[in-house]
Copies of this chain bind each other. A is one copy, B any other.
Amino acid sequence: MEKLEDIIFYTLERAIKSYRQYAQHNITAAGIDITIDQWLLLKAIQENPGTPQNELAKTVFKDMASITRMIELMVTKGFLIRNINSNDRRRSLLDLTETGLLILEVIQPVIETNRNTALDTLSKDELVLLDDLLSRITRNTSFKAERSGN
């Protein structure tokens, strides 16, 4: 815990946790009853209609078990409707309800404000660089030809 190389992952964890807390706080304060993770999944479903859950899992960097439970929750909350895909009865067909669509609308400005605040003072160039550095870490730590599921 002395040299920079040793703490860069703490800095990473700290940044993401700080952002998440901040963002969630503002969402809740705006009277919107949704978690950031639920929002992300809901948005992914909206943007990729008909996508099976295993694809959604990859899109939002989660595993299938989490997706199943989150969808369940959002069906209960009235954000989603789940039907069975008649072409492949193993799959489900997910659609946003009116409520789900409305939530996405009202949350959008909050999300944008959160991002702008979080990234305030970071220039376009710096964002490009940050994206590149993080992507390299991802590449360096991605499992290749292993049967490890992900």
Contacts and interface: CB of A to CB of B under 8 A. Distances in A.
State the oligomeric state as a number of copies: 2
A8 interface: yes
Contacts of A116: 5
A64 interface: no
Nearest to A130: B133
Contacts of A86: none
A16 B131 CA distance: 13
Contacts of A35: none
A8 to B, nearest CB: 6
Contact of A12 (B15, B43, B150): B15
Contact of A141 (B13, B117, B129, B148): B117
A129 B133 contact: yes
A143 B1 contact: no
Contacts of A120: 140
